[in-house]
C-alpha cells in the first residue's frame, strides 16, 4: 500500500447518528487524520530531532504513538494490551503505516457500537502475568488524549526542523486543500 493510500488522508463522512460508539470512532478518526499529516514526508533530520538530550526524538515519539494506537485498538476489540509493547514495526514508513492501520481498525470497531457495548469495554493492560483493568473512561483521558498530545509534538518538532505540515491541512473540517 502506497503511503498516499493509507487511511486518514481525510476524515471519513460523519456517522448518521450520535452515539457513544460513534463519538469514540470520530475521536479516533480525528487522531488518525492529525497523525497522517503530522507524519507525512518526514525526513531523516525530522525523525532524529529531539528538543534536548533528555527528550525523546521524533522517531521515539512515533514509536510511543504506535503503542498508544495499539492500546486504543485493543480496547475497541476488548483485547489486553501487552506492556511494554513486544515488537515494533521496523523503519519510519512501516511504523507510520502500522499506526494508521491500528487507528483505522479501532475506529471501525467503535463505529455503531451501542452505549451498552461501549460501557462493557475495558482498557486492559497486561504486564507480565498480571492484567490491570480500567473503565472505558481511561481510554479517553489516557491513550486517546496522550496520542493527540504527542501528535502535536511531532508537528512542532517538524516545524523546528524546517519541514512544516502541508499548509492545506484543516483539522476542523478533516480535509486538506491541495
Name the pTM for this structure. 0.95
Q: Which residues pair with 131 in a beta bridge?
A: 126
Tell me whether residue 103 is in a domain.
yes
Tell me whether residue 88 is in a domain.
yes
pLDDT at 4: 61
* Helices and strands (DSSP H and E) totals, the chain: 7, 5
Task: Give the three-state DSSP class for 29.
Answer: helix
Task: Give the three-state DSSP class for 64.
Answer: helix
Tell me whether residue 1 is in a domain.
no
Tell me whether residue 90 is in a domain.
yes
Joined grid coordinates for residue 34? 492529525
Max Cα–Cα distance, the chain, nearest Å = 50
Q: 45 with 136: CB under 8 angstroms?
A: no
pLDDT at 163: 98
Count CA atoms within 13 Å of residue 8 on its CB side: 30
Tell me whether residue 18 is in a domain.
yes
pLDDT tens over the chain, length 178 residues: 444 689 999 999 999 999 999 999 999 999 999 999 999 999 999 999 999 999 999 999 999 999 999 999 999 999 999 999 999 999 999 999 999 999 999 999 999 899 999 999 999 999 999 999 999 999 999 999 999 999 999 999 999 999 999 999 999 999 999 8
| Nearest one of 172, 153, 173, 170 to 161, comparing CA atoms | 153
Domain total in the chain: 1
| Nearest one of 78, 80, 82 to 128, comparing CA atoms | 82
Q: How far apart are CA 46 and CA 59, in angstroms?
A: 8
Tell me whether residue 3 is in a domain.
no
Q: How far apart are CA 78 and CA 104, in angstroms?
A: 16
- CATH number of the domain to which 112 belongs: 1.20.120.450
Give the range of the structural domain holding residue 71, as residue numbers without chain letter: 9-176
pLDDT at 140: 96
Tell me whether residue 74 is in a domain.
yes
> Which phi-psi region, left, alpha or beta, contains residue 130 (left: φ > 0; alpha: ψ -120 to 50)?
beta
Q: Compute, in degrees rounded to 10, the torsion defined by CA atoms 107, 112, 115, 120.
A: -60
Tell me whether residue 133 is in a domain.
yes
Q: How far apart are CA 163 and CA 160, in angstroms?
A: 7
Q: 75 with 139: CB under 8 angstroms?
A: yes
Amino acid at each position: 500500500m502506497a503511503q498516499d493510500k493509507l487511511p486518514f488522508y481525510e476524515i471519513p463522512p460523519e456517522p448518521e447518528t450520535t452515539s457513544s460508539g460513534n463519538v469514540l470512532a470520530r475521536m479516533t478518526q480525528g487522531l488518525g487524520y492529525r497523525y497522517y499529516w503530522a507524519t507525512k514526508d518526514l525526513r531523516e533530520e525530522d525523525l532524529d530531532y529531539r528538543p534536548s538530550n533528555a527528550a525523546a526524538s521524533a522517531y521515539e515519539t512515533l514509536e510511543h504513538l504506535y503503542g498508544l494506537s495499539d492500546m486504543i485498538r485493543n480496547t475497541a476489540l476488548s483485547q489486553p494490551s501487552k506492556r511494554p509493547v513486544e515488537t515494533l514495526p521496523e523503519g519510519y514508513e512501516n511504523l507510520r503505516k502500522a499506526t494508521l492501520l491500528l487507528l483505522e481498525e479501532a475506529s471501525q470497531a467503535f463505529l455503531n457500537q451501542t452505549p451498552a457495548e461501549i460501557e462493557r469495554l475495558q482498557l486492559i493492560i497486561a504486564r507480565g502475568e498480571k492484567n490491570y483493568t480500567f473503565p472505558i473512561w481511561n481510554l479517553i483521558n489516557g491513550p486517546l488524549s496522550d496520542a493527540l498530545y504527542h501528535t502535536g509534538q511531532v508537528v512542532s518538532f517538524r516545524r523546528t526542523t524546517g519541514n512544516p505540515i502541508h499548509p492545506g491541512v484543516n483539522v476542523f473540517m478533516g480535509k486538506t486543500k491541495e
